[in-house]
Amino acid sequence: MPKKSRLENILFTLVMAFVMVYAMVCYNIAIDKGGMTNEVFLLAFHEIPIMWPIACILEYFVVEKLATMLAFRLVNPKEDKPVFVTLAICSMIVCLMCPVMSLIATVLFAHPGNQVIAVWLQKFALNFPMALCWQIFFGGVFVRNLFTWVKKAIHHK
């Protein structure tokens, strides 16, 4: 796994957080509305200005380092295949981000009243499988491939 510069890391965090937050906001709105519609894609942009910066700050300043530390308890970056290292880090990021972001979304958008814990636990339980699958199989793959493609395009000029 090549080391990223600080600028690359910031840009990667911004893009990855957007891809994850947008997908998860769409997912949660669809659940609230009883199903997915085209309108959901537009409605998501009402929450993005709030949730995206929160995710970026949380990821960049707290979660990335902690997730990497936890992942390296499972894999060794010098001995294990890069794909396993990437999967371990991505999984740990979801394990840390999902409960926190679910709590924030519960408080800000779900109007839980005195049922904050119950609504948060339900939201977390619904969000976790989606967040993990989206990160591992779709969104995360897309963003990592996008960055690989951009780096190759820049270096081949």
The span from the CA of 128 to the CA of 145, in Å, is 23
Q: Could you tell me if 13 and 55 are in contact, meaning their C-beta atoms sit under 8 angstroms apart?
A: no
pTM of the model: 0.93
The half-sphere exposure of 43 on its side-chain side, counting CA atoms within 13 A, is 16
Whether the per-residue pLDDT at 157 is higher than 70: the answer is no
Quick check: helix, strand or coil at residue 44? helix
User: For the residues 105-121, what does the mean pLDDT come to?
Assistant: 97
Q: What is the DSSP letter of 136?
A: I
3-59 tens-digit pLDDT: 678 999 999 999 999 999 999 999 999 999 999 999 999 999 999 999 999 999 999
User: For the residues 80-91, what does the mean pLDDT come to?
Assistant: 97
Quick check: helix, strand or coil at residue 56? helix
Residue 2, pLDDT score: 59
Number of helices and strands in the chain (H, E): 6, 0
- Taking phi over 0 as left and psi of -120 to 50 as alpha, with beta for the rest, 97 belongs to alpha
Whether the per-residue pLDDT at 1 is higher than 60: the answer is no
User: For the residues 82-89, what does the mean pLDDT come to?
Assistant: 97
Residue 120, pLDDT score: 98
**What does the mean pLDDT of the chain come to?**
96
User: For the residues 136-152, what does the mean pLDDT come to?
Assistant: 96
Q: Could you tell me if 89 and 65 are in contact, meaning their C-beta atoms sit under 8 angstroms apart?
A: no
